Structure 1
Amino acid sequence: MAGASRTGNDSLGIQALLWTLPVLLLALYVVPFAGVVSWSVTQPEIGFAQYWRILSGGDMTNVFLRTLRIAVISTTITVLVGYCLSYYWVMGSRLRQTILEVCIFIPFWISVLVRAFGWLIILRDNGMANSFLMAAHVITEPLGTGRNEFAVIVGMVHFMVPFSVFPMATVMRKIDRRILLAAHGLGADPATVFRKIFLPLSMPGVFAAFVMVLVFSVGFFVTPAILGGGRVVMVAEAVFVQMFQTTNWGLGAAMSVVLLLLIGAIVGLAYRLLGVRSFVG
């Protein structure tokens, strides 16, 4: 009897532990999100007017289109740069690997605010880049690289490259080197080995990195707000403005819901087209 009672108590304890995480997720995410959805259809009046404003082709629609365009461009550049870094990190000599490890991990020690303001100092009209080019007589007037989409993309790429490296490097490390050696032994040149063997085998990591970076990029706030200077407004900044400056809580909530649905659609589409194996290598 005592043993059965102890077993029953252990089972109850295990059940309690298993249900703790779902209950926390429900309390911390689902319930607040339900409140946001409620605001989107009740503020300032009941209805779907805020969603219609987003989808009707006005300023809010342009904000979403701009966000997607910048996110896709920055994600593409990030994955290309990250792939090169991952390749040399995995396939390079020990010295090269050490140097790349330092370059990859150092950005994690620097605040996103510090990095954004650093790029602002470099790219503004009287910043370091324009001053150097004008002193070298390469240009005669500033290029206008600050507070525009170019500056936002540069800042986003710089922030996201380290995140893109890890999934690609993980997949590359799993590639059997004997396959590459066999291809070399059969007379394939390095370019052919890379194009026909290494690149296809590393594509799961590329897909995973692309989706992860794209999801992060769609919701970027700090970097576009600083480097865009109010001229390049993305969705996250627009939500902040509607919530805390214009106090239009209904529109801000509706934009948040649409943004979350957009991110969910991106992840769901990637999962459906590529499958879970593409994300785990």
Structure 2
Amino acid sequence: MPGVNEKTSYWMLVLPALSIMVIFYILPVLGIWEIAFTEPQAGVDNFVKMAGSNAVKTSFVITFRVAAITTLGCLILGYIVAYAISNFATRLTPLMVALVILPFWVSVLIRSFSWIVLLGRSGLVNDALINAELIERPLRLMHNELGVLIAMIHVMLPFAVLPMLTNMRGISGIYVQAARSLGASEWTSFRQVYFPQTLPGVLSGALLVFVLSLGFFVTPALLGGGRVLMISEYITYQIQEFLNWGLGSALSVALLVATALVLLVSARFVNLRATLLERK
């Protein structure tokens, strides 16, 4: 029968991908949940210990603060870049888009190390400022939250630019032209006509950057120097340094739940399906 054959063909196509998801994602996540509730003994002791730890609370606060500031910085810079590409760089659009995508071809580790070269006490930035006689001694630009934020914004910027650029390229310029013809100033046309149409792209970019920043590890670990302890690095310390698998797994579960809550809240304002398709 045609209907049965179509369903069979559908599941034959989906089954390999579903199997990979179950084996390499769902089962390991379930294993983490099991460890969180069974190591070193069964129960919720790991979660009670986590809830009563000031270090864990501080780490979560740092994580959400860094993620929020990174998101804000990426939205401001990314909006400018996306707006310039979609409205002023018509002939250079392919080149500009290629430059935005180019960082995806370079390892995050290499990009983070490049910021160490730039921001170190003997780095290019401090050397340039000293040679220009703007400062007398090197500034502390890394191993603090400032260095982490600079590098995080650089790494996450393409994730903000691409959704906003996709959204802006779908906006017809006729609306702004109509507003200008009716006497609106350039700023008024942008603020009341153009910007509201870009909000779906802005929200999509904000969601991508914020969620990715919550679990980011490499850049904060290198630029923070152990002084900006985000939750992902705290989990690594618990498992690798202290062999505390129970608490580390409980922290992983808490981070997963926090991320899921962010997605659930964001789903009320952002079309998550459209966001994922734009990302692809």
Q: Give TM-score scaled by structure 1 length.
A: 0.91
Gaps of 5+ in 1: none
Number of residues of Structure 1 aligned to a counterpart in Structure 2: 277
1:56 corresponds in structure 2 to 52
Q: Distance in 2 between matches of 1:10 and 1:262?
A: 39
* Cα deviation code 1:90-134 (max 9, x no counterpart): 001335535533431332222111111110111111211111111
Q: Report 1:185-196 matches (<5 A).
A: 185-196=181-192
- 1:173 maps to 2:169: yes
Distance 1:277 1:27, change over 3 A: closer
> 1:272 is paired with a residue of what secondary structure?
coil
Give the CA RMSD over aligned residues.
2.2
Please, which of 243, 246, 251 is the counterpart of residue 247 of structure 1?
Answer: 243
Higher gyration radius (CA): 1
User: CA–CA distance in 1 between the matches of 2:14 and 2:105?
Assistant: 35
Q: 2:97 aligns with which of 88, 96, 101?
A: 101
Correspondent of 2:112 among 87, 96, 116: 116
One of 74, 78, 83 as aligned partner of 2:79: 83
Partner of 1:211: 207
What residue number does 2:137 align with?
141
Give how far 1:235 is off.
1.2
Q: Shift of the alpha carbon at 1:8?
A: 6.0
Question: 2: distance between equivalents of 1:14 and 1:57?
Answer: 49
Rounded to whole Å, the distance in 1 between the matches of 2:13 and 2:92 is: 46
Measure, in 2, the Cα distance between the counterparts of 1:133 and 1:158.
Answer: 21
CA distance in 2, matches of 1:110, 1:126: 24
Residues 274 and 102 of structure 1: CA distance in aligned 2, closer, same or farther (over 3 Å):
closer
Q: 2:193 aligns with which of 175, 182, 197?
A: 197
* Structure 2 gap segments, 5+ residues each: none
State the secondary structure of the residue aligned to 1:242: helix
Q: Is residue 259 of structure 2 the alignment partner of residue 267 of structure 1?
A: no
Partner Cα distance (1:105, 1:10) in 2: 38
- For 1:150 and 1:61, locate their aligned partners in 2 and report how far apart those are by CA, in whole Å: 20
Do the aligned residues in 1 keep the contact of 2:204 with 2:270 (CA within 8 Å)? no
* Whole-angstrom CA distance in 2 between matches of 1:140 and 1:238: 36
What secondary structure is seen at the aligned counterpart in 2 of 1:73?
Answer: helix
* 1:24 to 1:235, Cα distance in 2 relative to 1, 3 A: same
AA in 1 matched with 2:60: F
Q: Hey, what's the Cα distance between the residues in 2 that align with 1:23 and 1:109?
A: 28
One-letter amino acid of the structure 2 residue matched with residue 180 of structure 1: V
Conservation of the 8 A alpha-carbon contact between 1:125 and 1:143? yes
Of 123, 127, 131 in structure 2, the residue corresponding to residue 127 of structure 1 is: 123
Q: TM-score, normalised by structure 2?
A: 0.91
Equivalent pair of 1:88/1:97 in contact (CA under 8 Å): no
One-letter amino acid of the structure 2 residue matched with residue 119 of structure 1: W
Aligned to 2:150: 154
Match of 2:35 in 1: 39
